Amino acid sequence: MTTNTSPLQGRTGGQILVDALRIHGTSTAFCVPGESFLAVLDALYHARDAIRLIVARQEGGAAHMAEAAAKLTGEPGICFVTRGPGSTNASIAVHTARQDSTPLILFVGQVGREAMGREAWQEIDYRHMFGHIAKWVDQIDDARRIPEYVSRAFHVATSGRPGPVVLALPEDMLTDVVQVPDSPRYHRSAAAPSQTALDGLRAELQHAQRPLVVLGGGGWSPEACEDIAAFAKAFDLPVACAFRRQDLMDNRLDHYVGETGLGMDPRIAQRVRDADLVIAVGARLGETSTQGYELLAVPRPTQRFVHVHADPEELGRVYHADVPVLASMPEFARAARALQPARAARWGDWTRAARSDYLSHLELPADMPGEVDLGRVMAHLRETLPADTIITNGAGNYTLWVQRFWPYGGWRTQLAPTSGTMGYGLPAAIAAKLEHPGRTVVCFAGDGCFLMNGQELATAVQYGAHVLVIVVNNGMYGSIRMHQERHYPGNVWGTALGNPDFSALAHSYGAHGEVVERTQDFPAALARARAAGRPALIELRVSQEALTPRLTVSALRAARA
């Protein structure tokens, strides 16, 4: 069963690679197979007691599963895909990992070295293809250098601002038999904040009247989240989370004040403007978290600005910080927790008001049009599901209800792409359920979003990943329809969808399926789905009128008329 691990004996490139993965701690790998990396598959066969192999139905699904697994564990997600079309399918997750700062290692089978450069079958130069979106991309041309390359891949993916690495594997390199020693397990390297930076932060806090903390980015850990919550409590600081990073602080804590993401509460937007000190921890404060760079002026915010980030190239890239803090999240959070407030906070009222805004934002708006009210569905889920439920989603207007009305229970209870990619929810949910079989995992998807990766229901059934999928079916690419109505009122074009029977589709995969056409039928459907003992899908038939929790098509048209 064991692979040949003695450096004195020859091993194939495939074996050396899989041995390296084991040494670096990999316990799960995702793939769609290809003949370009058969030698790796064979080595994985021999290592099957140590590394679980999850085979997906499309490389976008496989790579997003690996990306989500990495988000959950903090260790690099591992994915193998074949050359050419396998790699182009998988590229979506490389982009997600880049924007979400996730350590992902994508291994791509490559044509043999003797044919390289001739545009051989399915040949792509990955250094060019992934040059812009990967943190590092390279090709291993010599099997003797596999331990070196794989070690570097783990270091690069996890260090500083985490991100995706792509390594191409020429097919004949993987079958070469060479003698080479393994490299030891990687160490994540991380910067701790300097004393000067911490003194600067403390000084800013001494002068502030209306401070606001914004958490975001990657490289967090459960301990870092706890440390930041303790820091916020000690200084009585209101804490917002950036777009789709709402789980960096347990939303039930008194210092959590909401999300500064797409469709944010206008009151939290105003609060960012009104703050006299913004402390961004890990957040890049990109377009989605700043209402298109409006809430903070570029390059010099009017608020005093402390920017904590793990990547020195991010500090000063968009915003000039009064106090730039180069640090990784766990290291900064630990140091912040150790800070002692010099005196009692002067901004108690400001913090309480921010929290009270958040709590009132959780209240349901007046009845929305249609027989199924997504707000009420969310309220029922809030009352029914455990606090540690993992909620996943992709992109679309349906996410506005989820992200507004679900109180995230802290560390990695949310898997949602800041890259805004559709089709993310289902693969992420499968990865989550495989990682945490005992926890409830709910994937929300629009009718458009779901069918971008709906075939992965087969993967969920195959591996017994009992996820619950809630498909919000409004018969359209609703988010685009909303923008269309805004800019070209009434000219509905290219945004309508004719849909399959989602419940029957679920059945055909061997999953449980339900259709809900009235809000009051949801609780029973949910109970049946949760008791089904297999992956389950509930289709909600919602009205096209309800564009967002606060906007209808008619109101939008009336406002333009």
Ligand X SMILES: Cc1ncc(C[n+]2csc(CCOP(=O)(O)OP(=O)(O)O)c2C)c(N)n1
The CA distances from residue 110 to 56, 119, 195, in Å, are 20, 11, 48
Nearest distance, CB of residue 453 and Mg ion, angstroms: 15
Give the nearer residue to ligand X in terms of CB position, either 220 or 477.
477
Nearer to Mg ion, 326 or 547 (CB): 547
Amino acid residing at 503? S
Q: Which is nearer to ligand X, 84 or 446 (CB)?
A: 446
Does position 556 interact with ligand X (CB under 6 A)? The reply is no
Residue with tokens 């009247």: 209
Return the one option of Mg ion, ligand X, none that residue 479 interacts with (CB less than 5 to 8 A, by type).
ligand X
b/e sequence 175-209, b meaning 16+ C-beta within 10 Å: ebeeebebbeebebebbebeeebbebbbebbeebe
Q: Is the CB of 86 or the CB of 446 nearer to Mg ion? A: 446
- Smallest distance from the beta carbon of 261 to ligand X, in angstroms? 14
Cα(216)–Cα(224) distance, rounded to whole angstroms? 12
109 sits near Mg ion (criterion: CB under 5 A): no
By CB under 6 A, residue 420 contacts ligand X: yes
Nearer to ligand X, 279 or 506 (CB): 506
Select the residue interacting with ligand X from 395, 469, 546, 551 (CB under 6 A).
395
Q: How far is the CB of 514 from ligand X (least distance, A)?
A: 19
14 neighbors 29 (Cβ within 8 angstroms)? no
Q: What does 421 bind: ligand X, Mg ion, none (CB cut-off 5 to 8 Å by kind)?
A: ligand X
CB closer to ligand X out of 82 and 479: 479
Instruction: Give a three-class secondary structure readout of 88-128.
Output: HHHHHHHHHHHHHCCCEEEEEEECCHHHCCCCCCCCCCHHH
365: how many CB neighbours lie within 10 A of its CB? 14
Binding residues for Mg ion, rule CB under 5 A, total 5
Residue closest to Mg ion when measured from CB atoms: 446
User: Given the complex with ligand X, which of 134 and 482 has the nearer CB atom?
Assistant: 482
Q: In whole angstroms, how close is the CB of 13 to Mg ion at the nearest point?
A: 46
Binding ligand X (rule: CB under 6 A), the pick from 422, 441, 506, 525 is: 422
Binding at 453: pick from Mg ion, ligand X, none (beta carbon under 5-8 Å per type): none
Spatial CA neighbour of 194 closest among 102, 312, 285, 277: 312
Residue 153 or 445: which CB sits closer to ligand X?
Answer: 445
Q: Which residues pair with 139 in a beta bridge?
A: 168
396: contact with ligand X by CB under 6 A: yes
Helical packing angle, 348-361 and 266-274, nearest 10°? 160
* Site membership for Mg ion, residue 19 (CB under 5 A): no
Least distance (Å) between residue 550 CB and Mg ion? 18
Reduce the DSSP state of residue 415 to 3 states and report it. Answer: strand
Considering only residues 218 through 237, tell me which ones interact with ligand X, judged by CB under 6 A. Answer: none
Q: Is 183 among the residues that bind ligand X (CB under 6 A)?
A: no
Report the nearest approach of ligand X to the CB of residue 426 (Å).
12
**Residues 430-489 close enough to bind ligand X by CB under 6 A:** 446-449, 472, 474, 476-480
CB of 421 to ligand X, least distance (A): 5
427-486 residues in contact with Mg ion (CB under 5 A) are 446-448, 474, 478
Residues in 484-513 that interact with Mg ion by CB under 5 A? none
Q: How far is the CB of 397 from ligand X (least distance, A)?
A: 4
Cα(443)–Cα(516) distance, rounded to whole angstroms?
A: 16
Cis peptide leading into residue 299 (ω within 30°): yes
The two structure tokens encoding residue 285: 């404060």
Record the tokens describing residue 470, joined without a space. 């809630």
DSSP 8-state assignment for residue 496: B
Helices 398-405, 374-384: axis angle to 10 degrees equals 40
Do residues 282 and 330 make contact, with C-beta atoms less than 8 angstroms apart?
Answer: no
How many residues bind ligand X (CB under 6 A)? The answer is 19
Classify the phi-psi angles of 467: left when phi > 0, otherwise alpha if psi is within -120 to 50, otherwise beta: beta
Give whichever of 109 and 420 is closer to ligand X, judged by the CB atom.
420
List the beta bridge partners of residue 260: 242
Other Cβ atoms closer than 10 A to 75: 19
Identify the DSSP state of 193: P
Neighbour-count burial of 367, counting CB atoms closer than 10 A to its CB (0-12 exposed, 13-18 middle, 19+ buried): exposed
Q: What's 47's DSSP letter?
A: T
Q: Which does 420 bind (CB under 5 to 8 A by kind): ligand X, Mg ion, none?
A: ligand X
Asked if 49 and 218 count as a contact pair (C-beta separation under 8 A), the reply is no
Q: Is residue 421 near ligand X by the rule CB under 6 A?
A: yes
Residue whose CB is less far from Mg ion, 258 or 478: 478
Question: By beta-carbon distance, which residue lies closest to ligand X?
Answer: 446
Residue 395 interacting entry, from ligand X, Mg ion, none, C-beta within 5 to 8 Å by type: ligand X
Tokens of 444: 């929300």
Beta strands, E only, 13-66: 28-31, 52-55
Q: Nearest approach, Cβ of 556 to ligand X (angstroms)?
A: 14
Q: Smallest distance from the beta carbon of 539 to Mg ion, in angstroms?
A: 11
Contacting residues toward ligand X, per CB under 6 A = 395-398, 420-423, 446-449, 472, 474, 476-480
Contacting residues toward Mg ion, per CB under 5 A = 446-448, 474, 478
